[in-house]
Copies of this chain bind each other. A is one copy, B any other.
Amino acid sequence: MSLSTQPYKGARDFYPEDKRIQKYEFAVLRSVAERYGYEEYDAPILEPLEIFLAKTGEEIVNEQTYTFTDRGGRQVVIRPEMTPTVSRMVAARRQQLSYPLRWYSIPNLWRYERPQRGRLREHWQLNVDLFGVTTTDAEFEIISLIDDVFKRFKATPEMYEIRINHRGLIDFVLKDYLGLDETERHDVSKLIDRMHKLPDGAFLTELDALISDQRKAEQVPEKLLSFLSSKSIKDIHETLAATPSAAELKELIDKLTQSGISNVRFDPTVMRGFDYYTGIVFEVFDTHPDNNRSMLGGGRYDGLVGLFGVEPVATVGFGWGDVTLTNFLELHSLLPPLPSETRIFVVPIGEDTAKRIDGLVRELRNRGLNIACGDYRKKLGDQIKTADKKGIPFVLIVGENELREQRYVLRELATRNEQQLDINAIESTVKAWAEVHAGN
């Protein structure tokens, strides 16, 4: 019986044409993060289970992690998210590191869940975190960075919307304004978090089941629904508007708007699933009607570093998965053509030539050109087809005469244009092509 060629369920093989897309995406993400002064870090994909038990959220840890016991009896997990890891690393050097600390990473993450559009078991996720800034300057910088990523991908503001909320405001609403007890608050929070995934009407039905008659007599459902339907921070009840959380939200949204980011708004339904958020939270939604969903999210979590026995650090960060990013870029036709990194497929004519082209190939490589060699045993026509299939833009045909005269036939596959050129002209022709077609 032969082995299956399928990858593990919910995970992806990246053939070169798929990997090119990922490389393009990661290059843009890295470039923008570094433009804002963020430095890349990394950590093991396996972590002790404990660091996720504290604050990641029960559903994820108990039902969706890849958890197992290693050969030494340790309980380990393939990380489902990066935030506990980065908090661990900052805690380990709490005193030596200098703040503001700007870090980013593009870790590989795993969750055991039913694969579906926009959610796979394996994904990569840009994580950007700013440590040591207590004011909304932090949220402003982080959201500006996200907006610059969209701009760098040539997305326009109507393609996405930045929705902002505040955990402190939600807590105030549920506890002080509506007077819910701890169990009610927990249940209602989880319900709001699932709100956008529920079919029409289901939210009201589930809310009705959660709320006691006494709360109904206190008009809790009406007050909650009124709050959740606010489209602007100016719409909320004056009791809520007087809270420090509402003031922070207003300050941040004003700053972002003034800096030219127009597609930002208050959204009281943004909850974020993780238990560790302590302040402003945000999500960015794709506005495309076929994909109207959250693409990425983040917020302030000032308490996580402190769980590792050191003084807490104010932190704002976000995670942006490659699956939702790729969906967005494809749906909005933002992926540019991505040719092979290989520029020339060298085709020797005959065995004698094949044995004598090493010097030519080496010289082309020394000039910074990426060169693959063909196989002289195959027909010229088949070799040209091979180059074309691989997405290599040029074929260089080398026979006895060409070697003697040191002028070779360079064929551009897209245009079928052929020229007989010396090595200097080959170099300049191919580099000029790359300037236009590959951005280098």
Partner-B contacts on A (CB < 8 A): 2-9, 11-16, 19-20, 22-23, 34-48, 50-51, 54, 63, 66, 68-72, 74, 76, 78, 88-89, 91-93, 98-100, 102-103, 108, 110, 112, 122, 132-133, 141, 259, 307-309, 340-342, 345, 358, 365, 369-375, 385-386, 389-390, 392
A72 to B10, CA, bound (A): 12
A43 and B14 contact, Cβ closer than 8 Å, known pairs A88-B3, A342-B37, A370-B35: yes
Q: Show 29 residue pairs from A and B whose CB-CB distance is below 8 angstroms, ordered by the A residue.
A: A4-B308, A7-B43, A7-B47, A7-B88, A8-B44, A8-B46, A8-B47, A8-B48, A9-B72, A11-B44, A13-B44, A14-B43, A19-B39, A20-B40, A22-B42, A23-B40, A34-B342, A35-B365, A37-B342, A37-B371, A37-B373, A37-B392, A38-B372, A39-B340, A45-B45, A46-B78, A108-B108, A133-B375, A141-B373
A51 to B8, CA, bound (A): 11
A23 to B40, CA, bound (A): 9
Interchain CB contact (< 8 A) of A308 among B5, B78, B390: B5
Do the beta carbons of A372 and B341 come within 8 Å of each other?
no
Do the beta carbons of A3 and B308 come within 8 Å of each other?
yes
Do the beta carbons of B43 and A386 come within 8 Å of each other?
no
Do the beta carbons of A39 and B342 come within 8 Å of each other?
yes
Closest to A46 in B: B8
A34, A112, A374 interface centre (most CB from chain B within 10 Å): A34
Question: Which B residues lie within 8 Å of A39 (CB)?
Answer: 16, 19, 340-342, 390
Number of copies: 2
A102 to B2, CA, bound (A): 25
Closest to A69 in B: B68
Question: Which B residues lie within 8 Å of A102 (CB)?
Answer: 372
Do the beta carbons of A370 and B41 come within 8 Å of each other?
no
Do the beta carbons of A3 and B51 come within 8 Å of each other?
yes
Do the beta carbons of A341 and B44 come within 8 Å of each other?
no
Interchain CB contact (< 8 A) of A4 among B9, B48, B369: B48
A3 to B49, CA, bound (A): 11
A313 to B170, CA, bound (A): 61
Interchain CB contact (< 8 A) of A259 among B45, B259, B358: B358
Do the beta carbons of A98 and B390 come within 8 Å of each other?
yes
Write the nearest CB–CB distance from A430 to chain B, whole angstroms.
13
Given contacts A5-B88, A23-B40, A66-B70, 7 further A-B contacts (CB under 8 A): A2-B308, A12-B43, A13-B42, A19-B42, A34-B341, A40-B341, A46-B66
Do the beta carbons of A92 and B43 come within 8 Å of each other?
no
Interchain CB contact (< 8 A) of A2 among B72, B122, B309: B309
Do the beta carbons of A40 and B13 come within 8 Å of each other?
no
6 A-B pairs closest in CB distance: A37-B372, A2-B309, A11-B44, A5-B92, A68-B68, A16-B39
